[in-house]
Structure 1
Amino acid sequence: MARDQIVYDKKYDVIVCGGGTSGVAAAIAAARAGASTLLVERVGSLGGQLCFSGPPGFAFAHLFNPLGEQDAGGIIEEIHSRMLKEGHALPHLKPEHRLEAGYTFSYVDPDWFSITIFQMMEEAGVELLLHSLVVDVTKEEEKVTGIVVENTNGTVVIEGKIVIDCTGEGDIAVRAGAPYEYVDRNTVQPHTISFTMDGVDWEELMDWIHQNPDQLVWFEHTLPHWSDERKEEAHQKALEFYKTCKDPAMFGEMMGFIDFHKMGLETGEWHEFSGVGFFITPREGGHLQAHMQHSSQVPFVLTDDAWDLTKGEIECRRQNAIAIKFFRKYIPGFKNAYLTRMCPEMRLREGRRIMGDYRLTRDDVAEGKEFGDVIGKSHFKAGAHHTVDKNTIAQVEKVCPKDGGSYDIPYRCLVPQKAENLLVAGKHVSTDRDAYLRYLHQTMITGQAAGVAGALCSKKGVSPRELEGDVSELQKILKEQGAILDGTH
């Protein structure tokens, strides 16, 4: 029997659906811009992938383009600076062999990240509603007027002037009638469950690496436009780094273990869906842990199908159990290592993309395109799709912005078609598949912009689509909040 709807007695300027990386940035930004803001999250934690289902602060790994220019700032940089000061983050580490990779190891402690986010919510005056699932919107024709929430109280209707979909999968935008694109089950990128191990004998591991530097691979060791000579030069710099570096934190990641991986596949002690390796997570007091992000890779799982998601959760844990045993048995330094953290749900790499008033494309990325309605920047390559060995879909050729620079993200990507008073932020903003803005720094950039835009629309009494006519005030506030909208190549 359906439950009666309860109409909540408070109306908000901005309602943010989802408390992941995009949602927390959106809520903080909206509240700071003067909007009464409600953030609704289905679990009891904030931070999404960054604190409980994904990599250890991976959002902070792409704040600088290959020219060394910082192109991601605002709330994401504020969080990193705050956590670094408190001893819960690594600095922007830039080993020589990666100076032009547009990739740093500015990782954070995922548990302290969650604590930091809760503190910032309270400081900004964001109202939270946790353990609550947004299941629908209320509408007047195409105009969204609020949300419908299911929680222990019942079915609750909450009114809002502007609703921001930060669910990661575009669930709310779809329910509001916005069009979207998605791939099929055979093409979708694989998903993973990360886990962390402690008790690593780092001295033993480093001794082995110094003696076997060719057994590691540099995860993103070259840029697509580099010549063969330049690639070889980078490779030699990486080998020298592996042979001489004394501090494992400087590595950021340790990937490859080539001969061990090959042996494991031959003996059946390693599964065939991923390589061997891990990222390095900072913990209090200079302590380090090994964070396995790619040890499970599950293909053929659609994020809009709960049956698929269930199968993926089961398979990820099966693969992780294999990986844990393998690391303990074979990888130097891991003999006495133990599991400290198994993330409670899959990191979903690919879902719907909600079609907006502009669709960012692969060509835009390659060109390093600039837009008059820029709300943020990125340099992350297009076509960087994960695959697994069993997935026979060919790798798409990756392209980076020309000359190692950055490209603009336009505001119109956040404004969904066929829905009013609605914004989207996070990995489901409007792009083609290759330009997919799924990386966590990108989700926080679009989240902050959506939050400020929502606050402005509420204040001015206009729709997000009407705001497209003049984004100057939006850009001004974003810059005041530290966002980077210009000044890069």
Structure 2
Amino acid sequence: MEENHGHSTRACRPGESDGLDQRVMTGPPPDRWREPARDLPVLARPDVLVVGAGSAGVSAALAAARRGADTWLVEKLGFVGGLATFGLINLLLTLDDGEGHQVVAGQCQEFVDRLSALGAARFPDRSEWGSEDPDRVENWRRWGLVWGRPPENVRYSVAFEPEAFVNVSHELLREAGVHIRLHTSCTATYGSEDRVETVVVESKSGREVLAPTVVIDTTGDGDVFHYAGAAYDLTRVYPFQWFRMGGVVDTSSDRPGRGWFRTTDPGRVLVPWGGPGAVDFRIDPTDAEDLTRAELECRRGVMAEVSGLRDREPGFADAWLDDIAKLLGITESRRLTGDYILAKEDVDRVFDDAVARTGHWTRRGVVFDIPYRCLTTPRVTNLLTAGRCISTSRYVHQATKEIPAAMATGEAAGAAAVAALGTGGLVHGVDVAGLRDDLRRRGAIVDGAADPD
């Protein structure tokens, strides 16, 4: 008989008890149902499996495939981009340090360039970065690109069209040769004591298995490292549900626009609804009952806010609800307890193993170098993580959860996964100095010396 402990499986020795008492052997307790054992088909044995196709996952898959790895990208929803697309959080906050220096580039900058070429992005010219000119600050505030305490200034942040982000993602993933599998959820991992050998996925096709050499968890909620037995922190949060309204008259006026933002489509505005000012409850983002309550309550709140905007905002009288986020604005749940936990005290600290950088969207001059060790866990040898669930404190998480940082850590994780293939998938055996050089050569910023000024 085999014992199954989470993702670990070992055979019992002859004469060894399997640890099950007679009651369990004869059947499960009344509140349980024992699922019959069965063989599952192996869908593929990719070099790199990326689970979760949000902005971090797309970036990770691109980085791995562009370096020659057989790469699969699995996503539970029917689209890529996550909160950046169908969560309607279509703001890249931020690619700079608040003082005129770019700190995120690489694949994130590539997305900005592609979106800009399509006319699907708005951002300040480099000459404006860091400016405290009131007119410039007010202009970009109306696009949702100015946040934080006074004195406010212009940041290198980007407003973009979510559908264009999806299309650019599809185009780049196809060019790189990534195998995309949508409508497919990760439900379990199995393997040895310290290694993920297989990932169980479920879809309309049934339960199947993927057997990768390296796994990258970009689920946002840390689903893979949770199943694999890694340590983590879990936070209850206030939900958001952003929405867009059409038919708004004169969005280019000099009114402040606080509470709603301009978009690239004249007459349409983005409303960042939710959070502690609008919702009076926190949820566990990994609990289906909590998520269901949030979906129902937030939609009711959105409809009330739509009515309120029509009544109180000039130019909104004949406006309509154009689109509502298909994903709740959940930006924190599980955070990995990795080989290093990046903390507030690490502001401006130089790390020899830094593989990405990020500014802070509400605090000018605050920059974190992100060590490779924030992407790894001592518990599992062939697992990396990227995006909002990397190993940080809650304070630092407010910076690393944002899309540019997520794309930067995704790019680093994808590159690291390919480097780990040379060691049999052992992510702790990666030559980090070589990894940093590789990322730099491809345009990523990994430390202060790499500012492209």
Cα distance between partner residues in 1 of 2:39 and 2:242: 38
The equivalent of 2:241 in structure 1 is: 193
Cα distance between partner residues in 1 of 2:245 and 2:345: 41
- 8 Å CA contact 2:237–2:284 kept in 1: the answer is no
- 8 Å CA contact 1:282–1:288 kept in 2: the answer is no
TM-score when normalising by structure 1: 0.76
RMSD: 2.0
The equivalent of 2:302 in structure 1 is: 320
Q: Does 1:53 align with 2:83?
A: no
Cα distance between partner residues in 1 of 2:222 and 2:207: 21
The equivalent of 1:172 in structure 2 is: 224
1:308 is paired with a residue whose SS is: helix
- Contiguous gaps of at least 5 residues in structure 1: 210-215, 217-253, 256-276, 385-399
TM-fit CA distance, 1:349 = 2.2
From the superposition, tell whether residues 32 and 200 of structure 1 become closer, same or farther in structure 2 (CA, over 3 Å).
Answer: same
Cα distance between partner residues in 1 of 2:154 and 2:386: 23
TM-fit CA distance, 1:102 = 6.5
TM-fit CA distance, 1:475 = 1.0
TM-fit CA distance, 1:105 = 4.4
Aligned length: 391
Q: Residue type of the partner of 2:340?
A: Y
Matches within 5 A, 1:400-419: 400=363, 404=365, 406-419=367-380
TM-fit CA distance, 1:182 = 2.2
From the superposition, tell whether residues 316 and 456 of structure 1 become closer, same or farther in structure 2 (CA, over 3 Å).
Answer: same
Q: Does 1:335 align with 2:317?
A: yes
- 8 Å CA contact 2:102–2:156 kept in 1: the answer is no
The equivalent of 1:374 in structure 2 is: 354
1:53 is paired with a residue whose SS is: coil
The equivalent of 1:62 in structure 2 is: 94
TM-fit CA distance, 1:107 = 0.9
Cα distance between partner residues in 1 of 2:261 and 2:248: 13
Cα distance between partner residues in 1 of 2:267 and 2:423: 48
2:377 is paired with a residue whose SS is: coil
The equivalent of 1:473 in structure 2 is: 434
Q: Residue type of the partner of 1:327?
A: L
Q: Does 1:361 align with 2:343?
A: yes
TM-fit CA distance, 1:111 = 0.9
Q: Residue type of the partner of 1:430?
A: S
Corresponding residue to 1:142 among 188, 194, 215: 194
The equivalent of 1:248 in structure 2 is: none
TM-fit CA distance, 1:92 = 3.1
TM-fit CA distance, 1:336 = 1.3
Matches within 5 A, 1:9-24: 10-24=44-58
The equivalent of 2:422 in structure 1 is: 459
Q: Does 1:350 align with 2:332?
A: yes
Q: Does 1:77 align with 2:59?
A: no
Cα distance between partner residues in 1 of 2:155 and 2:50: 30
Sequence identity percentage = 32
Cα distance between partner residues in 1 of 2:175 and 2:239: 34
TM-fit CA distance, 1:158 = 0.8
The equivalent of 1:420 in structure 2 is: 381
The equivalent of 2:121 in structure 1 is: 89
- Greater share of residues in helix: 1
The equivalent of 1:431 in structure 2 is: 392
TM-score when normalising by structure 2: 0.82
Which is further off, 470-479 or 116-125?
Answer: 470-479
From the superposition, tell whether residues 132 and 2 of structure 1 become closer, same or farther in structure 2 (CA, over 3 Å).
Answer: farther
1:332 is paired with a residue whose SS is: coil
Corresponding residue to 1:294 among 273, 276, 300: 273
2:61 is paired with a residue whose SS is: helix
- 8 Å CA contact 1:302–1:309 kept in 2: the answer is yes
